[in-house]
Each structure stands twice: as structure tokens, then as C-alpha cells.
Structure 1
Amino acid sequence: MSTLSWERARALAAAHARPPAPADLPLAEVYGCRLAEPLRALVPVPGADVSAMDGYAVRGQPPWRLVGRVLAGGAAYPSLAGGEAVEIATGAPVPEGTAAVLPYEAADADGHWVKGPAESGRHIRRRGEDIPEHAVVLGAGTVVTPSVLGLAAGLGHDRLRVVPKPAVSVLVTGDEVVFAGLPGPGRVRDAIGPMLPGLVEWAGGRLAGVVRLPDGERALREALAGQDADVVVVCGASSKGPADHLRAVLRDAEVLVDGVAVRPGHPQILARLASGAMLAGLPGNPFAALGAALTLLVPLLGRPYRGETSALAGPVRAHPRDTRLVPVRRAEKGAVPVGHDRPGSLWGAALAEALAAVPPGWCGGPVELIELP
């Protein structure tokens, strides 16, 4: 299989994004998912005629005789006769016959009588005035944000039918990798494992787990056989060195991408496993892994590219055959390279706001900016 261009590889990954089947899930589990059907109001908002102010519900002409009190959540006062008033809290149901609510600040009250200027219908929120019962308030495909969760709860929903986030399992390989403390001679601290959970969440996935593996074909094969995630990410076994066994393990899989013309991140793999799950193989160098994840994993999880372009405000040397991913920060004069962009270091990416995708043989002109989480 020939090496694909960076543009072709990410387009192919996006074309193989397969969201899970819709499911009815509790509100606590649907943040960031998309609605699988329109959101309807199960109750009207407000649910009754209620006071919009703290004050007095009145009927007839002033002065009004105080005959009771109504608090939010309390029992409604049954009805008012002409010349009567009840003290009322914001959100409390107004008694039948209420003509208006007179706010405290406009009222003259002595504990038995109240008077003041009351405009008919003023400061009363009518039942269903904000949202009628059964109204469609959001369409299918809407992302469930914190505001959507609050809206759904206010409309009577305990569960929502959504397209769940794809479950993503991460396998971190390498005998040389340590996962805590200071690495000794010949060892390296894992930087990819801590990077991926946030990236997966940002891209629209749900981390199902992280598994640490030694080098070896058997360990990797057994780990892959035990996965039931929608997407499996293998870190550090995608190259062609003596300790890279992913290609051998994928002999029975449909390999869609085997190498991408991009730097860093050339040795990356996209495959469909026999189970139907998708696999993204990332190189072991941290910045190379980030570049590969933005190329294959992010579009595979359904996050679209923004299509932002910018001039480059700083010297960049293009590669003759491969796309270069260059960490940059935005400025008025254009995207400014921040440096520190060797494959084994995330320093530049940590300083950057985006990665500039510099095409092969670039000699100037706008370049695409790839947003970073």
C-alpha cells in the first residue's frame, strides 16, 4: 500500500466515522452527545399562571385588603374577589381572578391593606407563555450542551434519545515506557497516554480505558482481541522497527491507511478490524502521535475541520514531498511559528494555538490551520 497524502488520509478517516446507534440515556450521561430526535416540551413553561415579581397579587381597585400569602412551591390561594390582595413570591401561582401583580417597590402596605399603581396584566407570566406544551424546541443533531441539559430537565425529561459518543480504547505499548516517576537510563516517561483522554473527549469520543502493554506481537494481539470499543488506538507500534508489531497483528484486518506523507507522524495506520471496530495506529514519539491523531483519530470520531487559513508570519522550511505540521500562535500579521517542534517533544504544541499544515514544496501563501484542543 502506498503512502497517502495528508489531505487524502484525513478525508478517508472522516469517511469511516461511524457513530453508534441511538440510545435512550439518563441526563447525566448525555453531555456532548447529539440529539437523535427533536426535543419536545413535556410540560408548558411556565406550568401555570405565575407571578413574575415579589409583591402582591391584586384584583379590582385599590386599596386592597390583604387576605393571604402565596410562596413559590406552596399551595395556590384559591381565588380573589374584587378589592382583595395576597402577598406573593416570584414564581408562585397567582390566584384565580388576579388582575395584576404589584411589586413591593411600588406598593404602600401596612400589613392589612395595600395600595399602589397596578397595570392590568402586568407582572404575570401566563401558562405556556415561554414554551407551550408539546412544542419542538431543538432539532435532531443538536449537541447536548450544559444549557441543553438544563432546558431538557426544565421541560420534564429524565432521559434523552441521543447518538452516544464512540467508545475509544487506548493501548500504550513499549518496554521502554514508564508510567510514573522519573524514567531511568534508556527509559521514557509516557506522554501519549495522558494526552489522549482530553483529545478523545474534545474530538467527540468517550474514553473506555487505557491499557499498558509490553512490546510483543502476542501481547498486542491478545489485547486487541479483548476490545469491544468502537475505536481502538494503538500507541507506539505503528512504525517498521523490530519492536513494532502492529502490522503483523493486522494481517486479517482491512488496512485503509499505512503511512501518511506528513511530518511529524508519517508511520500511522488506519484499519477496520474483523469485529467492525476501527483502529488508529499512532507513532511512539509524542508530537508525531499528536499529528497522527489529528490526521486520523479526530476525523474518525466525527469532529469536522474548521477550514481556517492564515498567512505564516515567520520562516518555515517546507518539505519537498510531505506536509509539515508546524505549531503556531495567531497574531495580527499571521500565524507565528513557536518552534520546539521535534517529533519527540510536545513543547511546541503546548505553546501553540494551532498547527499550520504546510504543503509540500510550499513557497508562500495562506496555509490551513488545524485547531488544537
Structure 2
Amino acid sequence: MNMPWTLARQTARDAAKPLDANELALPDALGLALASGVRALTDQPTCATSAMDGYAVTGPGPWRIVGRVAAGDPVPEAFLRSGEAFGVATGAPVPDGSDAVVPVELCSTDGALLVADALPGKHIRRQAEDWTAGDELVPAGSPITPAVLGLAAGAGHDTLLAHRRPRVAVIVTGDELLHAGLPRPGRVRDAIGPMLPGLLTRADLIGTTHLRDDPAALVDALASGQADVLVTCGATSVGPADHLRRVLADLDAEVLISGVACRPGHPMLLAVLPDGRCVVGLPGNPFAALAAVLTLLHPLLDALGGHTARPPVTAWLPDVGAHRTDTRLVPVTRSGGLAVPAGHDRPGSLWGAALADALAVVPPGHRGGEVEVLTFGSAS
């Protein structure tokens, strides 16, 4: 009995716990997931600062200019009294007692006398206005983006605790496959092997092995190596050359998913070897393999990498002919919240997927409406 698509995707995410975490220099953490939240190490700002070039003032004007301070200078020792002004640069600390900063373009001076209109509190960033030391700024499980790195640096961090990226090894099987040149009768080009690296944006691809339809060679390939996840291409069905299920039984693997109620891609599978490594079996048809990557491999890799599941992306999809019992994955292009079918979605062809930017998840019985869409980048 094939597992429902939604349950299969959740089962893949639940099959693994996050990999070990390491303290990394900020540039080395880009693209990984936070193993602990980013907390502020100091107040932001650390003292009251000017948001404009101009003059810090106190009380009603006109004011007597009693000093100046530039960005990078220490907090002035002077306490600003009513009727006094202090020249300030953007980002410079303002003297204690300042009521407001008047932008320089609104000021006129006559020697040491400043004339302008001031609004109380305007253009001063007060201490801890953005955050207080100890505040959590970004939660654990979040992807470490360039903005997160900049925020972490601004909050005082030189390193971040991040989960290791999963290591993936790919095993491509099939006597019929060619890896260069033109297809010919009885022989086809391998389309899955060239497609996979671009789909593993949250993993490290440590090697690709090409095998004939030989169960002994498949046993050896699955039983060795340093990968956290082994991805097999082909051999997932029940034909005479489809050895994967028998090989997994010989290796005492626990099969968590043995088929999904999904079109294309229903022969996909997920298993766990006795040593804890995961095996994701992709069907041999290229578009079916892509459907299996988005259904099982992406949520598994996200879980191993410590990435928190995110809310689904949705779009409105017209009636595309839903299946009576199975979920359909349909190549679409998205525009303004609308998903437009790309066509050319036969299981053995990537033509439609090549024209698309996502796969629409079409539940059984769908007759038009909001659906989840899966982008080709790793995401759960």
C-alpha cells in the first residue's frame, strides 16, 4: 500500500535528527542552520547616538554651541544643559541630556549661536532601542543567510554554532544508461545524475557512482562510504532488474517508505541502514526522480541539517485533472500568486520541469484552488 504523499513527506522529515554542530567563523557558517539562536551580546545601540548629521540640543532655542563629536568618538563627558548645542555626526554618541538632534540642513549658525526648530526626541537613537543584551534575534533552526551573518556581527558575534551539512553519495544504476554522446535504440542518456547536484543546495555531494544492474555491486556501494545519505537512482520498482528492495532486505535495513501515492514517482522509497545512514531510492524515470527528490530527499536533508520546517508556499492552480486517489506533482510557472501548468509532464521527461520554476502539489479530487508549490531549491 503506497503511503499518502503528505504523510510520506512528514515521515522523511521525522526519519533523522540534526547532525552534530560546530562553532564556525561567520563566513564559514553561510547556508547552514543555526544550532542555537543568535542572542544579542550588547545593547543596540550601546549608547544614545545621532541618526543625522546636525546638532544635539536641549531645551528651547536658540542654542549656544559648546562642542562637537564625530562617529567613533567616545561619549562626550559634557552634560548638555538647556540652551546648549553639540555638533554631531551620523552614528556619533550624543551627550547626556540631549533632547533632540536637528539636521544640519535645517540649521543656521551665527558664530557659536545655533538657530533652528527642534522636535523633542527626533533623530536620536536611544540606548537599547533596537534590542537589549540577551535578546534572541534569530531562533535556532533558521538558515544562516547573508543578512543573519551581518546581524550576528552587529550583535557582537565572531562565530556561530551551526549544524554540519549532510554528506550525500549518489549511486546511479542501469545497464541502459549512457553518460556521454547521443541516445540510441535501447540506450538512453542518464538525465538524473546531471540533475541532482543542483538540487542538493543544502548538502555536500561527496561522490557519484555508476553501476550496472548488479545486486552484488549495489550491496558494496550501500555498505561502504562516509555519506550520511545514499541516493540511488533506478532499481526501485519490482522488475527483474530492480534489485534495491532485495538488497536492502539483505542489509537488514528498515524500510520506512515503500512507495508513495504520488504521480509521478510512486516507486520511491526511504530506508535506514543498521548504522543509521539513510537511503533514498529515486525511480529511474527522470521526472519521477525529481518528484521523489522534492517529496523525500529535501525534507530529509533539511532535518539532518537542522533546518526548521517552514510554512508552505501556495499558489492558485486551475483544474488540471486531479487523480482520483493519488497526489499529482505538476510542473508550473508562478506569476502573481497564480500557478500556470508548463505541460510536458510525462514521467520519463524533464521537459516540463525545465520550463517550470516549481511543482504544484495537486491533491486527489482537486478542481481548482489554492495548492502547495514546491520550489526546486532544498526546502521543507
Global fold match (TM > 0.5): yes
Q: Which residue of 2 aligns with 1:214?
A: 211
Match of 1:229 among 207, 227, 230: 227
Percentage of pairs with the same residue: 48
Q: Which residue of 1 aligns with 2:103?
A: 103
Query: Is 1:238 the counterpart of 2:223 in the alignment?
Result: no
Instruction: Report the 3-state secondary structure (helix = DSSP H, G, I; strand = E; otherwise coil) of the residue aligned with 2:55.
Output: strand
Are the counterparts in 2 of residues 313 and 337 from structure 1 also a CA contact under 8 Å?
Answer: no
Q: Any stretches of 5+ residues in structure 1 without a counterpart? A: none
CA spacing shift, 1:240–1:91, aligned 2, 3 Å: same
CA spacing shift, 1:169–1:71, aligned 2, 3 Å: farther
Match of 1:348 among 334, 346, 352: 352
Of 303-312 and 285-294, more deviation after overlay is shown by: 303-312
Q: Which residue of 2 aligns with 1:45?
A: 44
Deviations 1:134-170 (A, max 9, x none): 2333444445444433322211122233445544333
CA-atom RMSD, angstroms? 3.8
- When normalised by structure 2's length, the TM-score is 0.77
* Structure 1 residue identity aligned to 2:360: L
* Structure 2 residue identity aligned to 1:355: A
User: Within 2, Cα distance between the matches of 1:190 and 1:270?
Assistant: 22
CA spacing shift, 1:219–1:28, aligned 2, 3 Å: farther
- 1:1-373 to 2 correspondence within 5 Å? 3-31=2-30, 33-58=32-57, 62-65=62-65, 67=67, 69-79=68-78, 85-109=85-109, 113-119=113-119, 121-174=121-174, 176-178=176-178, 182-185=181-184, 187-201=187-201, 205-215=202-212, 216-241=214-239, 243-250=241-248, 251-252=250-251, 253-301=253-301, 302=303, 306=312, 312-314=318-320, 316=321, 318=323, 323-328=327-332, 337-352=341-356, 353-357=358-362, 359=364, 369-373=372-376
User: Within 2, Cα distance between the matches of 1:333 and 1:78?
Assistant: 57
- When normalised by structure 1's length, the TM-score is 0.79
Which aligned runs of 4 or more in structure 1 are off by greater than 6 angstroms?
A: 330-335
- How many pairs were matched up? 363
CA spacing shift, 1:304–1:184, aligned 2, 3 Å: same
User: Within 2, Cα distance between the matches of 1:35 and 1:147?
Assistant: 13
Are the counterparts in 2 of residues 313 and 335 from structure 1 also a CA contact under 8 Å?
Answer: no
* Structure 2 residue identity aligned to 1:169: A
CA spacing shift, 1:370–1:133, aligned 2, 3 Å: closer
* Structure 2 residue identity aligned to 1:346: L
User: Within 1, Cα distance between the matches of 2:373 and 2:197?
Assistant: 19
Shift of residue 86, structure 1, vs aligned partner: 4.1
User: Within 1, Cα distance between the matches of 2:336 and 2:125?
Assistant: 48
User: Within 2, Cα distance between the matches of 1:142 and 1:304?
Assistant: 9
Are the counterparts in 2 of residues 230 and 278 from structure 1 also a CA contact under 8 Å?
Answer: yes
Are the counterparts in 2 of residues 305 and 370 from structure 1 also a CA contact under 8 Å?
Answer: no
CA spacing shift, 1:326–1:80, aligned 2, 3 Å: closer
CA spacing shift, 1:178–1:155, aligned 2, 3 Å: farther
User: Within 2, Cα distance between the matches of 1:189 and 1:276?
Assistant: 33
User: Within 2, Cα distance between the matches of 1:336 and 1:230?
Assistant: 37
CA spacing shift, 1:191–1:111, aligned 2, 3 Å: farther
Q: Any stretches of 5+ residues in structure 2 without a counterpart? A: 304-308
Are the counterparts in 2 of residues 217 and 245 from structure 1 also a CA contact under 8 Å?
Answer: yes
